[in-house]
Amino acid sequence: MNPTELVVNEKLASIEPERKEHGIVMELSPYGVDKKKLGMWMFIVSDACTFAAFLFAYGYMRIGAPVWGTPFGPSSIANGVLMTAILLSSSLTMLAAVRASQADDRSSAKKWLGVTMLLGVIFAALHLREWFKLIGEGWRLFYNPTGGAAQFGATFFSVTGLHLTHVVTGVIALAFVVRGYSQRRYDQSHVETAGLYWHFVDLVWMFVFPLMYLMNAH
């Protein structure tokens, strides 16, 4: 074993003295990451590509369109800013839940998970309000009431719909985490893994909001 390898292995060994998987001693994991968390990271990498493809399609449609409608007035933007603030806050409350679970403060962790779910639900409600408003104004997947490119509805509803699906899935997943955590089947690593997903969904919104809302404000 060469000296650098030795140093790296010692460093890892200090993080995790002996890694065991069902009684068998394993080789040190390269980044000291637990398998659930690593699995979630892999999902996030893949899911990011899926969102990227949707956003690429949006960009392609938008650049190709001779006239692109910009339907969002101040009230829609205000609604979007509010949604952004709520989703960002939910990342903070998620962080508080992870911190509490790491300190083994179970009641506090459950409380923060509950707040995170609530914020997620409020976000979804505000989002649906926005959708119904647009639908009421005549916007459809295939129709633009202002006479611009029909692709506005197609891209807006599909991109934000995909994101909304992620938020709703996240809320449901958190409910399962809370249940398992209350029954002590889950520990802090489950909370942290769920947190990773939640932050990712939040991060995606940070792309969706400027691209779908701010760029379409008149």
Cβ atoms within 10 Å of 152's Cβ, excluding its own: 27
For another protein, the binding residue among 4, 14, 46, 183 (CB under 8 A) is: 46
- The answer to the question of residue 24 lying near another protein (CB under 8 A) is yes
Looking at 7, 13, 33, 81, which residue binds another protein (CB under 8 A)?
33
Nearer to another protein, 118 or 168 (CB): 168
The site that binds another protein (CB under 8 A) totals a number of residues, namely: 41
* 104-124 b/e (C-beta count within 10 Å ≥ 16 → b): eebeebbebbebbbebbebbb
DSSP secondary structure string for all residues of 73-131 = -HHHHHHHHHHHHHHHHHHHHHHHHHHHHHTT-HHHHHHHHHHHHHHHHHHHHHHHHHH
29 binds another protein (CB under 8 A): yes
- Out of 118, 126, 150, 173, which residue is the one contacting another protein (CB under 8 A)? 150
Among 7, 39, 85, 129, binds another protein (CB under 8 A): 39
Q: Pick from 4, 17, 21, 147: which binds another protein (CB under 8 A)?
A: 21
Q: In angstroms, rounded to a whole number, what is the distance separating the alpha carbons of residues 63 and 204?
A: 22
Closer by beta carbon to another protein, 42 or else 206: 42
Establish if 134 lies at the interface with another protein (CB under 8 A): no
Q: How far is the CB of 197 from another protein (least distance, A)?
A: 13
Cβ neighbours for 74, distance < 8 A, ≥ 6 positions apart? none
- Segment 16-24 long-range contacts (CB within 8 Å, at least 24 positions apart): none
Q: Report d(CA 146, CA 143) in Å as an integer.
A: 9
Which of these segments, 43-51, 70-78, 92-100, 117-125, binds another protein (CB under 8 A)?
43-51
Show the binding pattern over residues 155-194: x = contacts another protein (CB under 8 A), - = does not.
---x------------------------------------
Q: How far is CA 158 from CA 4, 25, 36, 54, 177, in A?
A: 50, 47, 30, 8, 28
Find, among 47, 94, 88, 52, the residue nearest to 193 by Cα.
94
Q: Provide, rounded to whole angstroms, the least separation between the CB of residue 60 and another protein.
A: 5
Residues in contact with another protein by CB under 8 A are 21-27, 29-31, 33-35, 38-39, 42-43, 45-50, 52-54, 56-57, 60-61, 64-65, 140-142, 149-151, 153-154, 158
